[in-house]
Amino acid sequence: MGSIYALAALGFNIIYNATGIINFAQGEFVMLGAMLMAYFAAVLKLPLLLAFIVVVLLVACVGLILERGCIHPLKNPSILVLVMITIAASILLKGVTMFIAGKEVHGMEYFSGENTVVDMGGAKVPTQTFWILGVLGVVVCGLVIFFNLTLAGKAMRACAFDRTAASLMGIPTKRMVMFSFFLSAAIGGMAGAVIVPISMADYQSGAMFGIKGFGAAVFGGLGNNFGAVSAGLILGILEALTAGYLSSHYKDALPLAVLLLVLFVKPSGLFGSEAAGRLKKF
Amino acid sequence: MMKFFKKQNLFCVVLVLCFSLTVFSFAQEKKEEKKEPIKIGAIFSITGGASWLGEPERNTMVMYVEKINKAGGVLGRPIELIVEDTEGNETKTVNATKKLITKDNVIAIVGPSRSGSTMAIIDIPGEYKVPLISCAAAESIAVPVRKYVFKTPQKDSDAALRILEHLKKKGVKKIAIMSEASGFGDQGRLQLKKYAPEYGIAVVADDTYGPKDTDMTPQLTKIKATEAQAVVNWSIVPAQSIIPKNMKQLGMTIPLYQSHGFGNPKYAEACGEAGEGIIFPAGRLLACDTLPDDHPQKKVLMNYKKEYEERFKDSVSTFGGHAYDALFIIVEAIKKAGVVDKDKIRDEIEKTKGFIGTGGIFNYSPEDHTGLQKDAFEMLTIKNGKFVVLQD
Amino acid sequence: MADPILELKDVCRFFGGVRAVDGVSFCVSKGQIKSIIGPNGAGKTTLFNVIAGNMKPTKGNIRLQNRNVTMLPDYKMASLGVTRTFQTIKIFSNMTVLENVMIARHPRSRAGFFSAAFRFPWMRREETSLIRESRKYLEFFDLLGKADHPAHTLPFKEQRLLEFARALANEPVILLADEPAAGLNTRETKDIAALIKRIRDTGVTVLLVEHDMSLVMDISDEILVLDFGKKIAEGTPEHIRKNDEVIAVYLGRRAEGA
Amino acid sequence: MMKRNIYIPYAVFLMIVLLAPMFVKNPYYLGVLVQVGIFSLVTMGLSLLMGYAGQISLGHAAFFGMGAYASAILTGTCHWSPWLAMGAGMLITACVAWFVGTPSLKLKGHYLAMATLGFGLIVNIFFLAEVDLTGGPSGYTFARIPHITFIKWTIKSETSSYYFVWGILLVILLLTLHIIHSRVGRALRSIHADEEAARAMGVNTAQYKVGIFILSGIYASLAGSLYAHYIRFVAPDPFGLMESVLLVTMVIVGGMGSIWGAIAGAALLIILPEALRFFQDYNILIYGAILLFIMLFLPGGIFGGSQMLWLLIRKIPGRRQEAKDG
């Protein structure tokens, strides 16, 4: 579970870094990924890998459309307006999904066969968990390589650091924003695609992924990808521990309380430095 | 400063204009009203958290109202169905109810889908003297009896009793309860805890989960460590299909009982292989193929199932059945009353006896607005991915 | 030195390993214009922030009119009479020019949530006198004609003036001006110099951080030179002009920097 | 001169509010207007916090819910007088707001958003989990929430609810307008513009931020109590995260930095979904589209929009920015 939060948090970060926006439609990307995956793999019976690739591309395109249609046309928007736009967009995405896919829940088999488990020191771990961890690992490695070794990645980091300076250096910041939406939507789509066998999805599951992902992103320090991954995992583990040992009522409350306490003590998140926080005003 | 504030004045005027426009448009709308059709209102959670409940309910209503109208309507007048959406939100439900009653002047209301929503509006029918038949299960809707409020689903407590009976028969002494943190799950949890001692059954674990949770392994791991001989899960959301999966992954072999909220073929489908052998109480609709031919409900159930599935290309669920029952109870009452009068219709609804619906055989009385006994529930199980009546 | 308004003793401010301000001591006397100069990164702005209460000193002691104010937060310092202007103009762009000045009277008025909500008679009187006083300050800076304009519509120089008007309306004991000539041309700089003198003549002590040497030499009564967070010289403009170490620092730095 | 100017629109508004029931007789419409009043109360407080002090709260539905639950529990379980319960609710909310606000408001931007969001979720989980106190997920069903009695009138019918809620709203509105056009209002706006400069002018920004947070919490709590006595049933759902987001949306759609905008936003976002009932399932699409449209083309909200429109008509250029900033 934590891995999914981590993936969602990564998505938040990528857009945040490029634009300073918190994209509240991020959860919707995860939901779309899950729904499409269920459709392609379970209904159309496409081979897994093909379905996965198609899903990720499709969700990424939705991200692109979102950016082109809603973010791009604005000339000089305030952060708050952008946030509201992403909220409105997420309502729309939800609505469209509801009409196309219906209101039922969709699920599918585990990637490696129904209900297969691996015995690990007495604890039975579903094989899907490894798929999820694997995807997280691949995404993290991919991002590290992308941001550090490729020109486009470096350009995006430059944008994150100082947008004006980056555009003066000839980096097409607008295109970078577009690309960041593409990338984070793709990551969201991946997260959705791997989670659907475990948790199933309907048109409303986006909000939960969104909140948890946002929580993880803030917890780890906005804009800090390493922080996002660790914080996502920590939140997931905290949740499981609370439900297992304390009270399942407060399963969601305790990690939140921990998050709040951390913020109060260290206002820029666990791994965020104050300077890197680059606090954006509303 | 003068100028600055003057500008503000103008915005206020604009605001005020908008406000008065709305007011006037409200006032205008009232005039266009035709008296001809008989208006029946319906309030379902068509969107929002419980849309999978509201959807079949609405579909059922729409389909049968069309059918009735094609056959000449009731008392020679067509029925006009006005469906409202609660969005699963209590405030919206209140608005919808008031709209139906005071703006649309409906003569009776079917719904809401959920217990919480029903409780939010429970006094309104009495205030405006409009009969309402709820499609939500909670016992508190009909206990204490409210003059204008009826319900069609079976009682929660009956479901709990049926489960406990079965557990007792199987010699189970210790159970673990899982429930979803919602009105439905909470009611069931309370009922189970209340009646379990009467059957000599101890509750050794009592856990909840959020309606949108995706993994119940932590709770189940905790339960696994107890001496529970069976898990009883009370939920109405898709999340419950995850429990059998999780249990299988954890290697738990104790039987899983679900509530009547499991009565949706999609849930069984979602469980896949892990769902085999789940035991749960439900109306007979789901397993009507396996009912003996001489069962009084068989014909009604088979017809409803056939018609619904033909029209909507979607498997039938008990929830739609609740709406079916409510609609036809009202229609029968109108026929018997002979006039379209809210109070007379209410009286006739209360006099309903031996009405064969999808939920069971309804007998309302001034003391009982539930209409069903606990034998309305049949214990079902999943065999080869299909609901069948449990034989033993 | 007679009548010290502000007194710093061995004030330090470290950021991790960086000693931005390192053991600085000095006095500002009443009615003086004192300037702090030094190369980029010498710790001038940090020192300002420490005095104004924006940052707590790591070590050391600050006294205002013989009162220990070392650890007081910035808004307290402001109400005690330490007011500042900023290097990058910080006017309240969402308010009118007049309201900008009225804000400065904040510590000198007392209406709270409750009294504001119910508009007690005394509160109305306070508001009226607030407007009257604030208009006086605007008049002093020739801004009265634009009192009701939104502050962000003013041209740059007038925004700077507004910042001064606002600072003065705070009735400061000592005014900390952070590079008031930044972004202004030579003529405007001259106007600012005259203005600072006028402010001093109203009895307000001025502590100045400035890069523009001509401005500093022209108006300062005393100058303090910082380098790497340390005080390297202090004295009258003539004295500083002749100080070898100061010249070395400036020339040396320039040679490196160029 | 300032005084006259805030009282004129107020007086016009007062007349409209008083006269509206002469045209709107249908209880359903009146009921919708009552809800507009209740939500306006919350958005007014939120507008003070967001538009004036420049802080954000994604947990305001929690305060709204605390007022509602306080009224429900204290009148239902403890048999207090509704007025006393209302006061107690506001007091409790104020304490909680102080307790949460003091550390939270040191945070900025998205971190503050997350902190308030987290707080809102925790309070909602509390409503869900404390079954013995709140009735849990099924809502408060231990007792029926009584009608409120004002002097000798029982507020029961839609018309009386309308006058009661809007009467309270009008009083609060007046007080709020006074606060805005005062030393306190200026201090708040200075925080919005530049916190450091505000402190340099002697404004104790931390104290004001917490103060306005508490005040907006109290408004929300009062609205919650009114809600509880009007709907007479409380359940956790209407006080969740989506409601908090909706409240913020109301303020932004209405136009930040204007109390009138807050009322307009509440009115629009309450009336719009009701008006869209006709479209049934499609309302979610239309709703989203309208929201998107407003944000794309009227970034200053309805109020900023009307402002811009007026300026365009009058051909006074150069104020676009102002609408945006406000």
Any bridge partners for residue B178, and if so which?
B207, B233
The Cβ-side half-sphere exposure at B260, using a 13 Å CA radius, reads 32
Give the whole-angstrom CA distance, residue B44 versus residue B112: 5
In this prediction, residue A279 carries a pLDDT of 38
In this prediction, residue B312 carries a pLDDT of 86
The answer to whether D182 contacts C123, with C-beta atoms less than 8 Å apart, is yes
Mean of the per-residue pLDDT values of chain D: 85
Give the whole-angstrom CA distance, residue D55 versus residue A31: 30
Nearest in space to B160 (alpha carbons), one of B136, B114, B196, B184: B196
Contact list in B for residue C147 (CB cut-off 8 A) is 1
Q: Which CATH architecture does the domain made up of B157-282 adopt? A: 3-Layer(aba) Sandwich (3.40)
Give the nearest partner residue to D56 out of A81, A260, A282, using CB atoms.
Answer: A282
pLDDT band with cut points at 50, 70 and 90 for residue A95: confident
Average pLDDT for residues B41-65, to the nearest whole number? 85
Average pLDDT for residues B365-373, to the nearest whole number? 87
The answer to whether C147 contacts B1, with C-beta atoms less than 8 Å apart, is yes
Average pLDDT for residues A54-82, to the nearest whole number? 81
Give the whole-angstrom CA distance, residue D205 versus residue B38: 63
Contact B258, B163 (CB under 8 A): no
> B51 to chain D, minimum CA–CA distance in Å?
10
- In three-state secondary structure terms, B259 is coil
Amino acid at position B22, single letter: T
Contact B215, B146 (CB under 8 A): no
Alpha-carbon dihedral of residues B7, B8, B9, B13, nearest 10 degrees? 100
* Chain D interface disruption, residue of A256, A268, A280, most D CBs within 10 A: A256
Q: Which CATH architecture does the domain made up of B38-154+293-373 adopt? A: 3-Layer(aba) Sandwich (3.40)
Contact list in B for residue D5 (CB cut-off 8 A) is 5-6, 8-9
In this prediction, residue B174 carries a pLDDT of 92
Strand segments (E) across A72-126: 117-120, 123-126
D45-61 residue pLDDT tens: 999 998 888 888 989 99
In this prediction, residue A76 carries a pLDDT of 64
Taking CA atoms, what residue in B is nearest to D129? B181
In this prediction, residue A125 carries a pLDDT of 67
Alpha helices in A122-201 (DSSP H): 127-149, 151-161, 163-168, 173-199
The one-character DSSP state at A281 is: P
In this prediction, residue D315 carries a pLDDT of 47
- In three-state secondary structure terms, C175 is strand
Amino acid at position B158, single letter: D
- Name the residue ranges covered by the structural domains of chain A: 2-201
Q: Report how far apart, in Å, the C-alpha atoms of A258 and of each of A236, A271, C108 are.
A: 12, 15, 42
C54-73 residue pLDDT tens: 888 888 899 998 889 888 88
Touch criterion met for A and C (3+ Cβ pairs within 8 Å): no
Give the number of other Cβ atoms within 10 Å of residue B291's Cβ. 17
* Chain D interface disruption, residue of B10, B15, B209, most D CBs within 10 A: B15
Contact list in D for residue C106 (CB cut-off 8 A) is 183, 186-187, 201-203
In this prediction, residue B110 carries a pLDDT of 93
B38-52 residue pLDDT tens: 999 999 888 776 777
Question: pLDDT higher for D162 or A16?
Answer: D162
> B297 to chain D, minimum CA–CA distance in Å?
32
D12-38 residue pLDDT tens: 999 999 888 888 878 888 989 999 999
Average pLDDT for residues D190-196, to the nearest whole number? 88
pLDDT band with cut points at 50, 70 and 90 for residue D322: very low
Burial of B353 (0-12, 13-18, 19+ CB in 10 A): exposed
A239-265 residue pLDDT tens: 777 776 666 667 778 878 888 888 888
Cα angle A131, A137, A140 (rounded to 5 degrees) comes to: 140
Residue B214 in contact with partner chain A when CB distance is under 8 A: yes
Cα angle A165, A169, A171 (rounded to 5 degrees) comes to: 95
- In three-state secondary structure terms, D263 is helix
Give the whole-angstrom CA distance, residue C73 versus residue D217: 27
Mean of the per-residue pLDDT values of chain C: 86
Strand segments (E) across chain A: 117-120, 123-126
Q: How do strand C205-209 and strand C33-37 relate by DSSP bridges?
A: parallel
Q: How do strand B108-110 and strand B149-151 relate by DSSP bridges?
A: unpaired
Give the whole-angstrom CA distance, residue B30 versus residue B23: 12
Give the whole-angstrom CA distance, residue A140 versus residue A145: 9
In this prediction, residue A117 carries a pLDDT of 65
- Name the residue ranges covered by the structural domains of chain B: 38-154+293-373, 157-282
- Reading the block at residue B6, the tokens are 């003057």
The answer to whether B182 contacts D137, with C-beta atoms less than 8 Å apart, is yes
* Chain B interface disruption, residue of D10, D42, D138, most B CBs within 10 A: D138
Per-residue pLDDT for A122 more than 70?
Answer: no
Q: Report how far apart, in Å, the C-alpha atoms of A88 and of each of A215, B89, D94, D265 are.
A: 20, 19, 31, 15
Taking CA atoms, what residue in C is nearest to D187? C103
> D241 to chain A, minimum CA–CA distance in Å?
10
Question: pLDDT higher for D226 or D193?
Answer: D226
D106-141 residue pLDDT tens: 888 778 888 898 899 899 989 988 888 888 777 887
Contact C93, C152 (CB under 8 A): yes
Most confident of A12-26, B203-217, C171-185, D205-219: D205-219
> D186 to chain C, minimum CA–CA distance in Å?
6
D54-93 residue pLDDT tens: 888 989 999 999 999 999 999 988 999 999 999 999 999 9
What is the H or E stretch that residue B313 is in? none
**Percent of chain B at pLDDT exceeding 90:** 22
Measured in whole angstroms, the distance separating CA C113 from the mean position of its chain's CA atoms is 30
Average pLDDT for residues C14-39, to the nearest whole number? 87
The answer to whether C78 contacts D201, with C-beta atoms less than 8 Å apart, is yes
The answer to whether D274 contacts B95, with C-beta atoms less than 8 Å apart, is yes
In the block, residue with structure tokens 């072999």: B253
Q: How do strand B230-234 and strand C33-37 relate by DSSP bridges?
A: unpaired
Taking CA atoms, what residue in D is nearest to A272? D111
Taking CA atoms, what residue in C is nearest to D204? C75
Nearest in space to C47 (alpha carbons), one of C220, C217, C198, C209: C209
Give the whole-angstrom CA distance, residue C110 versus residue C113: 10
Among A33-47, B9-23, D290-304, the least confident range: B9-23
pLDDT band with cut points at 50, 70 and 90 for residue D326: very low
Residue B157 in contact with partner chain A when CB distance is under 8 A: no
Per-residue pLDDT for B245 more than 90?
Answer: no
Touch criterion met for B and D (3+ Cβ pairs within 8 Å): yes
What is the H or E stretch that residue B1 is in? none
Give the nearest partner residue to D249 out of A84, A211, A268, using CB atoms.
Answer: A84
Average pLDDT for residues A266-273, to the nearest whole number? 68
In this prediction, residue C253 carries a pLDDT of 55
Residue C235 region by backbone torsions, left for phi larger than 0, else alpha for psi between -120 and 50, else beta:
left
The answer to whether D285 contacts A253, with C-beta atoms less than 8 Å apart, is no
A137-182 residue pLDDT tens: 888 888 888 888 888 878 877 776 677 777 777 777 778 888 888 8
Give the nearest partner residue to D296 out of A70, A95, A207, using CB atoms.
Answer: A70
In this prediction, residue B33 carries a pLDDT of 44
Give the whole-angstrom CA distance, residue D245 versus residue D222: 19
Give the whole-angstrom CA distance, residue B337 versus residue B157: 32
The answer to whether B52 contacts A103, with C-beta atoms less than 8 Å apart, is yes
Give the whole-angstrom CA distance, residue B99 versus residue D275: 11
A8-39 residue pLDDT tens: 788 787 777 766 777 888 888 988 988 888 88
Question: pLDDT higher for A99 or B100?
Answer: B100
The answer to whether D299 contacts A78, with C-beta atoms less than 8 Å apart, is yes
The answer to whether B266 contacts A115, with C-beta atoms less than 8 Å apart, is no
ipTM over 0.85: no
- Name the residue ranges covered by the structural domains of chain C: 93-155
The answer to whether B273 contacts A243, with C-beta atoms less than 8 Å apart, is no
Total residue count of chain C as it appears in this document? 258
In this prediction, residue A75 carries a pLDDT of 65
Residue D252 in contact with partner chain A when CB distance is under 8 A: yes
In this prediction, residue C252 carries a pLDDT of 63
pTM, two decimal places: 0.84
Contact list in C for residue D179 (CB cut-off 8 A) is 113, 116-117
Contact list in C for residue D50 (CB cut-off 8 A) is none
Give the number of other Cβ atoms within 10 Å of residue B384's Cβ. 6
Residue C127 in contact with partner chain D when CB distance is under 8 A: yes
Give the whole-angstrom CA distance, residue D202 versus residue C171: 11
Mean of the per-residue pLDDT values of chain A: 78
* Chain B interface disruption, residue of C135, C148, C153, most B CBs within 10 A: C148
Taking CA atoms, what residue in D is nearest to A70? D296
Give the whole-angstrom CA distance, residue B96 versus residue D35: 13
> B368 to chain D, minimum CA–CA distance in Å?
20
The answer to whether B47 contacts D284, with C-beta atoms less than 8 Å apart, is yes
Contact D125, D119 (CB under 8 A): no
In this prediction, residue A277 carries a pLDDT of 41
Contact list in B for residue C98 (CB cut-off 8 A) is 1
Give the neighbor-by-neighbor strand order of the sheet with B256-258.
Answer: B202-209, B174-180, B230-234, B256-258, B279-282, B378-383, B386-389
Give the whole-angstrom CA distance, residue A153 versus residue D38: 50
- In three-state secondary structure terms, C99 is helix
B219-232 residue pLDDT tens: 888 888 888 999 99
Among B1-5, B297-301, D193-197, the least confident range: B1-5
* Chain B interface disruption, residue of D237, D246, D302, D303, most B CBs within 10 A: D237
Alpha helices in chain B (DSSP H): 2-29, 51-70, 90-98, 115-120, 124-128, 156-169, 183-195, 217-224, 242-249, 265-271, 298-312, 318-337, 342-350
Residue D103 in contact with partner chain A when CB distance is under 8 A: yes
Residue B210 in contact with partner chain A when CB distance is under 8 A: yes
In this prediction, residue A230 carries a pLDDT of 84
Per-residue pLDDT for A105 more than 50?
Answer: yes
Touch criterion met for D and C (3+ Cβ pairs within 8 Å): yes
Contact list in C for residue B2 (CB cut-off 8 A) is 148
Per-residue pLDDT for B366 more than 80?
Answer: yes
The answer to whether C103 contacts D325, with C-beta atoms less than 8 Å apart, is no
Per-residue pLDDT for A120 more than 90?
Answer: no
In this prediction, residue A224 carries a pLDDT of 77
pLDDT band with cut points at 50, 70 and 90 for residue B13: low
